[in-house]
Amino acid sequence: MYDNILVPISFDDDRDTNGAIAVARKLANDGAKITLFHVMEQIPSYAISYMPNDYITESRRAIQAELHTLADTLPGGQAVLVEGHSGRTILEWADKHAVDCIVIASHRPGMQDLLLGSTATTVVRHARCAVHVIR
């Protein structure tokens, strides 16, 4: 069905990352590229001062290793780690790299999502390609 699939990966416990990867695998054409994508959001300066000096470096290293481990299980899989605002960064990357489908895991929305919005909501509302949401 799709040739270039983007799977934003969140390491939160309430996201079905494995389910999103399984759906991407089923939606992929032979020879498709599946990109596992994680956005590291900036930690506010008032909070970073309470963390160990190497926190960001070690977090980045651990996330990159996990992404590569997951991507290695997929034919045509690749791992990408970037910094930015999650919703906007996913959309910009998808546009720039001609993604034809985004498969994103979401949590069950609560009251805070009605007021603040969520990454999956932003992606669904603004993506220029197909979006499959996994709960």
| pLDDT tens, residue by residue, 19-61 | 999 999 999 999 999 999 999 998 888 888 888 889 899 999 9
Pick the CATH number of 2-134 from 3.40.1350.10, 3.30.1360.120, 3.40.50.620, 3.50.50.60: 3.40.50.620
pLDDT at residue number 46: 85
Question: 3-state DSSP call for residue 3?
Answer: strand
Beta bridge partners of 79: 36
CB burial string 81-115: b at 16+ within 10 A, e below: beeeebbebbbebbeeeebbbbbbbbbeeeeeeee
Average pLDDT in the 101-112 region?
78
90 vs 13, which has greater pLDDT?
90
The single residue listed with the structure tokens 């990454």 is 119
- pLDDT > 70: percent of the chain: 93
Q: Would you kindly state where each structural domain of the chain is located, as residue ranges?
A: 2-134
The helix/strand count (H/E) of the chain reads as 6, 5
